[in-house]
Amino acid sequence: MVSGVHGKTYFWNNKIRKKIESMQLNGKRYTTIYMSLYGISNLEEISKKIFIETTQLMDKNLRKFMDTNGQTTIPEYAKTGIDMANFFGVTQNGDKVDYADFFSTDDKVLCFDDLERANVDVIDILGYINNFVEHDHIKTIIICNEKELSTKLKSSNLEMKTFIATYLLDKQDELNKTDKPMVEKIQDKIEHVFDKANDYERIKEKLIGETFEYAPKFDYIINGILMRYEKNPDLIRFLRENTGLIISTFNKSGTRNLRILKHALNDFSKIYEMVNKSYPNTSHRVIQTMLIFTIAVSFEIKAGKITKDKFVNIKDNEEYKSILVSSRILMDNRQFYIKEFDNNYYYNFKAEYRFFKFIEYYVRTRIFDMKLFKDNMETIRNTVDTENLPAYRRLLTEEYWKIPDDQFGKVIEEIVEDVITGKIRLIDIVKLYAYFSYFSKKELISYDIKTIKTIFFNGMNISSLTSEYCPNPEEELGKIAIDEVAEYMDEILKYFNSLNAQLLDKLYKEKADEIFKNIPMKMEIFYEKFDKECMNIPIFKYYDPYQMFQRISCASNEDIVLIKEKLVNRADKYPKEIEPEMKNIKQLKQIVDDYLKGKDPSIKIVMLKDFSKTLGYILDKYKISFLPRKEEKVEETEE
């Protein structure tokens, strides 16, 4: 067995095969049969391939072609086209041929290559090969990349394995214990339950007599790959200076596949050229990180270690980092995977910005998206590549213990200043409050809880004047990278929720103004926006009923009918969601009815009467809500 890195097939063809075919053993000459298992999806295909290689009945034209071209093995494309029926005539009774019956292999050496790239379970293939070795005593050589094989054995069906491992840990009450990181626990459990690699080792021990490691001089190979960039002096200089990074990232991938590395460096040459052309002052550190990331993502996606969708939903570096610092175990395979990815490829390499969406997208789809590229590069330029990354951003996007002690005090003071002046988003102030309460408890800062509360609550008031409504507070608060947050948070969360509700009101009021101003002159825009944005929100609560009536009464008869139908449809579909607007709907009906009193009939008047009737139908759905409480005077409700 030969195991080792890519390049081993070349070694077989140019060294081993020639050596075997030039030898005589006990007066017998051997010929070799080479067979790649790449893509094989069932064992019969192996028999068929060997049969074609060994049969004496080979197609004359093919034989002639091989002799003329000095070829000793049948090319792969020819094998698929060989007509089996012509070899045998038609089989009697149309039975399936068992190709293994036709081998003539006593003077052959079989060589199986690419064991790790077959689509059949490796253990089945080894069992199949074992038949040759044990029963027929055929000399057999297997070439494979064992490191890649063990990665494949471990990472196949990872989602299912993670789910089962988590379930078992939960049943054994191991899930909530904090004796070691959750990622590590799940990994250990997966290895314990599903260790196929051990089966492989056992079978290998029984089957393989000798193992030789093929280990070519690695720096020499990398040097050969880099030669192709000689025409680009800046790029070649950068790559040569960073050969160490290339090699270490390559090693960390665990798949020793030089073909993928070549592709990755090719992709990087395009990235390097675009960055230098459009953003010439990008820092050296950022470009180094891009190099690591391009190689890492290429291996993860192309070596089949992950399904492509692990990165798809991560939209930017900030989201990537928030997954890393989130202390909550969401039982989310993606979080589990991203933490592993980061621990592996960025181990001992510090970088603020280390997820480049435009690179991930380019490697995954082969499309270099200029908009993504520009968005990423602008963010880098405005944060990482300049010194003005705000202190509070540092605290929210990297683990706080990574801030050096001599900088920590300054970071805290800067954050306090920004909170006092309300420069920070409302939801971020809530997150920072959790950190400050925690720091105060651990005596890392000199502020007591009472002072912190005063500073932060006042800061929230100022921030709420410029902040936008936050639609997903729970998800945002899940990004806090400390565990002991619950005890400090009740009061501030209550206050945040009331401010956030006010921001929602403000948002809806602006939306209502923007949408209803299209009646009666721009009805197409009104319908489109109303359908898209207002069907399940109580938008009438935020618009003055008198103005609403003026607008509707100026609309065409056709539009009055259409608006009426939309309101019915909406009330039938989303009664609960739009209930808060019913007070205004009631007022609008009153205004329409007052207007209609004593009016002579016309089509417009008839349409408005229908409109009022429809508002009555909608209000009837909420009759119960408008029943007077006992202490109220009944007259007040009888409008």
Q: Looking at the structure, do residues 430 and 560 belong to the same domain, yes or no?
A: no
Say whether pLDDT at 319 is over 90.
no
Residue 210 domain-assigned (yes or no): no
- Is 190 inside any structural domain? no
Measured distance CA(280)–CA(577) in Å, rounded: 52
Strand, coil or helix: what is 322? Answer: helix
Higher-pLDDT residue of 34, 27: 34
**554: number of Cβ within 10 Å:** 12
Tell me, yes or no, whether 179 lies in a domain.
Answer: no
Could you tell me if residue 85 is inside a domain? Answer: yes
Q: Are residues 501 and 524 in the same domain?
A: no
For 514-549, how does the pLDDT look when each residue is reduced to its tens digit (9 = 90+)?
A: 999 999 999 999 999 999 999 999 999 999 999 999
How confident is the model at residue 557, as a pLDDT? 92
Q: Which domain holds residue 265?
A: 218-389
Average pLDDT over residues 150-162: 67
Local structure of 158: helix, strand or coil? helix
**pLDDT in the model for residue 456:** 93
Look at residue 388 in the predicted model and tell me its pLDDT.
53
Together in a domain, 418 and 306: no
pLDDT exceeds 90 at position 275: yes
In tens, the pLDDT along 576-620 reads 899 999 999 999 999 999 999 988 989 999 999 999 999 999 998
Q: Which of 106, 109, 114 is nearest to 148 (CA)?
A: 114
What type of residue sits at position 337? Y
If one counts the domains in the chain, the total is 4
Query: Do 222 and 366 share a domain, yes or no?
Result: yes
Please tell me the predicted confidence (pLDDT) of residue 78. Answer: 47
How far is residue 412 CA from its own chain's centroid? 33
> Per the domain annotation, does 176 fall within a domain?
no
Looking at 116-234, which runs of residues are DSSP E strands?
Answer: 139-144, 212-214
Residue 181: inside a domain, yes or no? no
Residue 61: pLDDT band (50, 70, 90) is low
Instruction: Tell me what the mean pLDDT of segment 191-201 comes to.
Output: 67
Helix, strand, coil shares of the chain as percentages rounded to 5?
65, 5, 30
pLDDT higher than threshold 80 for residue 429: yes
Instruction: Identify the residue whose tokens are 């197609």.
Output: 59
How many CB atoms within 10 Å of residue 624?
A: 6
Q: What is the pLDDT of residue 587?
A: 93
Q: Looking at 329, 356, 389, which one is the last position of a domain?
A: 389
What's the rounded Cα separation, in Å, for the pair 117 and 126?
A: 13
Mark whether 530 and 489 lie in a shared domain: no
| Tokens, residue 592 | 């329409």
Distances (CA, A) of 120 to 152, 248, 505: 12, 31, 60
Residue % of the chain over a pLDDT of 70: 79
Measure the CA–CA gap between 53 and 73, rounded to whole angstroms.
Answer: 7
Same-domain pairing of 19 and 138: yes
Q: Predicted confidence band at 357 (pLDDT cuts at 50, 70, 90)?
A: very high
Contact 429, 419 (CB under 8 A): yes
Question: Of the candidates 389, 412, 427, which is a domain's last residue?
Answer: 389
Instruction: Mark whether 144 and 275 lie in a shared domain.
Output: no
Query: How far apart, in whole angstroms, are the C-alpha atoms of residue 163 and residue 177?
Result: 18
pLDDT in tens, 364-416: 899 999 999 999 998 887 766 545 567 787 777 666 787 888 888 988 999 99
Q: Look up residue 488 and give its two tokens.
A: 């400090």
Model confidence band, residue 214 (pLDDT cutoffs 50, 70, 90): confident
pLDDT score recorded for residue 92: 46
Q: How far apart are CA 482 and CA 434, in angstroms?
A: 8
pLDDT of residue 639: 38
What's the CA gap between 337 and 222, in Å, rounded? Answer: 29
- 634, pLDDT greater than 50: no
Q: What is the predicted pLDDT for the residue at 77? A: 43
User: Does residue 122 lie within any of the structural domains?
Assistant: yes
Closest CA to 19 of 9, 32, 1: 32
424 closest CA partner among 408, 409, 440, 435: 435
Query: Per-residue DSSP letters for 544-558?
Result: -HHHHHHHHHHS-HH
Amino acid at 559: D
Confidence of residue 53 (pLDDT cuts 50, 70, 90): low
Asked if residue 271 and residue 375 are part of one domain, the reply reads yes
pLDDT for res 421: 92
Q: What is the pLDDT of residue 89?
A: 45
pLDDT digits (tens, 9 = 90+) for 84-116: 545 444 444 555 555 554 455 567 788 888 888
Residue 345 has pLDDT above 50, yes or no: yes
More confident of the two residues 122 and 492 = 492
Across the range 328-339, mean pLDDT stands at 66
Whether 453 and 554 map to the same domain: the answer is no
Of 447, 473, 505, which residue sits at a domain end?
505
Residues 272 and 381 in one domain: yes
Examine the pLDDT at 455 and tell me if it is beyond 80: yes
pLDDT at position 57, please? 47
Q: Hey, is 495 helix, strand or coil? A: helix
Same domain, yes or no, for 127 and 40? Answer: yes
* Greater pLDDT, 55 or 356: 356
pLDDT value, residue 540: 94
Residues 315-324, mean pLDDT to the nearest whole number: 83
- SS3 of residue 35 by DSSP: strand
In the prediction, which pLDDT does 512 show?
A: 94
Question: Which single residue is written with the structure tokens 């206050």?
Answer: 495
Residue 173 forms part of a structural domain = no
Using one digit for the tens of pLDDT, what is the confidence trace for 565-588?
999 999 999 998 999 999 999 999
Closest CA to 536 of 505, 577, 501: 577
What average pLDDT does the chain have? 80
- 253 & 232 share domain: yes
What is the total residue count of the chain?
Answer: 639
